[in-house]
Structure 1
């Protein structure tokens, strides 16, 4: 038996009977987030696809890829969004190398997240120079303007950074997004798209729980 079949989502219809209040609240949240606003529907769906790469929810990726296509997004745009997501996944790991260094420093204080911790990341160039240089090149290439503008890529980066829960990435890319012309309204809408897709991943997987539990049709 495959754990991921589109037909499994049929179980979600049962939630309107079992948990109607919660199901309705989720639908209202999701609908409100994807209304046109400071960001267009196309931009929101592109961000949603990028976030779905990070949450690794196949249902979300399937649903939002189709919605993004309907909103006018091209394959090239969605592929670029995927590379931004990949770069942020890598960036979160690289940024947190500062914690590896702190763990090995007996004089390190107890504050785990200082902005200045990012200054330690450059030490990787001494200890793993070839790999670190390749990472830098990959990140820069993924985030430069292409089919997607630099501004939209930075908005994607901020959204994905909230999913990967990397405060360093949020700090860097929020500032980069502002420099690229993003407003607080656009940043806020991008973050709420990330929140909705993250919630959607948990929501759709309720169908898998029902399938595994063996509830009757």
Structure 2
């Protein structure tokens, strides 16, 4: 086997591990990931699987990064062609609703589940989750501030309050989809978002 093929095979195996791990973690939490279970499901040895990540924590951190990549592809990257400001903000929110509605991950929003799991802890995984959430809030603030400067939102708009309310709607959407199995939840989320923006 050529060195190039070997590297490609290693990357492919790593990606396969991450995709399966993310699917499990979205439904059962990051602590639901066990090296033994993954090795059995993927037909690998425990040592071979650990060789890609070093430790269980290393695997968990890699899963957080993979979840961020999936979310980025499914939400902000889908609407990046739109101008920053209110058009992008509304489109981002619609893409976010669609992401949850389409059940891209079997357990719904990975970050909602993982944040609930780790919010009261300390450590690298908790810090990685907090960092990803902070980056997403920053992006939302950028679009809101641009909408204010463009005159599409009132000059007195409380940026942090609007971010809080948008995230609250999405948390409710994930809850009603996952726990209540409420098929009307996406419509309710869209209605709530429309009222949120039109009220300003």
TM-score range, shorter chain: under 0.3
Q: TM-score, normalised by structure 1?
A: 0.25
Give me the TM-score of the superposition, normalised by structure 2: 0.27
